[in-house]
């Protein structure tokens, strides 16, 4: 999905962008890297510069990742829950110890979130929005 945004701040390889929050945000795969500001419906997004020279105030076209909201929810909530329940049931069935089963189930969640964290760090560049091009808008055109 491609959208227009305004450059707010430059960093080394990334840029902070602002854009009006749209209905598309609800199903966007990159909404997890967005932080919605208090008050207005303005979204702040961190995006890869993609070797495109921009300055604060420039309007750019960005392309968001292809990771669906359902897949993100499954990774963050579903997999840890499934692992928790599986460890709880298996340990309780074979060792007949509820306390040990609960302890190991919670420990398994910590391990799963550690693995998810490693996956996120390794794939963050692929999942981040990217600047596609700098856009020159006609006078009086407002992107937000």
**pLDDT tens by residue, 16-53:** 887 776 655 566 665 555 554 344 577 777 777 777 77
The whole-angstrom separation of Cα 17 and Cα 42 is 10
* Token code pair at residue 56: 């604060």
Query: Would you state the structure tokens that stand for residue 37, as one six-digit string?
Result: 């500001």
> What integer is the mean pLDDT of 71-86?
90
Residue 117 CA to residue 131 CA, distance in Å, equals 25
Pinpoint the residues of the chain covered by CATH 2.40.50. Answer: 2-67+127-135
39 or 8, which is more confident? 8
The candidate with the shortest Cα–Cα distance to 7, out of 33, 63, 45, 64, is: 45
pTM: 0.57
Of 15-19, 70-74, 89-93, 124-128, the range with the highest mean pLDDT is: 89-93
Q: CA 56 to CA 54: how far, in whole Å?
A: 7
Q: Which CATH architecture does the domain made up of 2-67+127-135 adopt?
A: Beta Barrel (2.40)
pLDDT at 103 over 80: yes
| Token reading at 114 | 């550690």
């Amino acid at each position: 999905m491609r959208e227009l945004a305004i450059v707010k701040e430059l960093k080394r390889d990334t840029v902070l962008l602002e854009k009006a929050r749209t209905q598309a945000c609800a199903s966007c795969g990159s909404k997890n890297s967005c932080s919605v500001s208090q008050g207005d419906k303005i979204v702040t997004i961190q995006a890869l510069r993609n070797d495109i020279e921009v300055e604060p105030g420039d309007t750019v076209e960005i392309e968001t990742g292809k990771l669906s909201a359902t897949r993100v929810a499954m990774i963050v909530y579903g997999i840890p829950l499934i692992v928790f329940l599986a460890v709880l049931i298996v340990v309780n069935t074979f060792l007949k110890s509820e306390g040990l089963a609960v302890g190991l189930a919670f420990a398994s969640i910590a391990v799963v979130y550690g693995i998810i964290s490693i996956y996120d760090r390794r794939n963050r560049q692929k999942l981040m929005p990217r600047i596609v091009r700098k856009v020159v808008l006609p006078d009086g055109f407002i992107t937000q």
